[in-house]
Amino acid sequence: MSGRALILAGSARARGRSTSESLAGYLGERLTGHGMATTLVRVPRLRRPASLAAFLEELDGAELFVLAAPLYVDALPHLVTRALERIAAHRAGTGRAAGAMLAIVNCGFPEAAHTRVALAICRAFAVRADLEWRGGLGLGGGELIGGRRLEELGWLTRNVTRALELTAAALAAGEPVPPAAVELMARPLVHPRVFTAVADVSWVQRAVRHGALLQLGARPYEPDAAER
Ligand SMILES: Cc1cc2nc3c(=O)[nH]c(=O)nc-3n(C[C@H](O)[C@H](O)[C@H](O)COP(=O)(O)O)c2cc1C
């Protein structure tokens, strides 16, 4: 498929600091390689009414809409939800063009399965916005990428880059995301035990940095015995 792809990076993090943007950027470059014109927009931008209006207009002329977002509390971040609501409302009006959608959700826990509910939300949105659902990719351990370019991470992201390459080829051909891409993206970046060990060390390092090492066991919201 030649044509246009509009990619929304759904993190509120600063430019160049988010995993969603890393994934969106890599996929965008691959889609460009397959002859698609791609535009990447970061979701904080859509808070400005003029930017939102321009985005909606661009979406009407796009063959493909890609959302790359982080997982927040088993769902999508507020800024993304708000953007999707605006898009659905816009497309419920007149003059909308047909299009297709892919969603990529990355989460902090090592298991990609945490992204299932958010991907189901994206799919429900696609139906509401009259976009043909091409599929969803879930990635665990997203913090290990942390906004860096996937090309620079070599071995760590070999399955992620392969998944995005397969996805770009399929989408550019007007096909759904291949199951192999879903499976590759869901593979843990590192062994879960290694992930937990590294996470434990960084938890302690952060506590030291914030002078909270002796409070790691604190349970400030636990009701006291009288309230139980
Ligand atoms: C408010 C908030 C809620 C989060 N909730 C979850 C969650 O429910 N499950 C999970 O695995 N990660 C959760 N995370 C971790 C993010 O999904 C993870 O750090 C992700 O890699 C951030 O992507 P980004 O760099 O594109 O923003 C949460 C992060 C924040 C800030």
Beta bridge partners of 48: none
- CB-based contact 215:206 (threshold 8 Å): no
- The confidence score (pLDDT) of residue 227 equals 61
Q: Which residue has the tokens 């979701």?
A: 43
109 CA closest ligand 1 atom index = 11
- CB-based contact 167:102 (threshold 8 Å): yes
Tokens of 159: 């399955």
Instruction: Report phi then psi at 65, rounded to 5.
Output: -115, 125
- CB-based contact 10:80 (threshold 8 Å): yes
Ligand 1 center to 108 CA (angstroms): 5
Residue in 152, 153, 149, 177 with CA at minimum distance from that of residue 165: 177
- The confidence score (pLDDT) of residue 222 equals 87
DSSP 72: B
pTM, rounded to two decimals? 0.93
Which residue ranges have their beta carbon within 6 Å of ligand 1? 11, 13, 18-20, 70-74, 106-109, 114, 142-143
CA 34, CA 218: separation in Å to the nearest integer?
53
CA 180, CA 199: separation in Å to the nearest integer?
29
9 CA closest ligand 1 atom index = 26
> Residue 84: CA atoms inside 13 Å, Cβ hemisphere, count?
28
Mean pLDDT per 10-residue section of the chain, whose length is 228 residues: 90 95 98 97 97 96 97 98 96 74 97 98 96 97 95 96 98 97 97 91 95 93 70
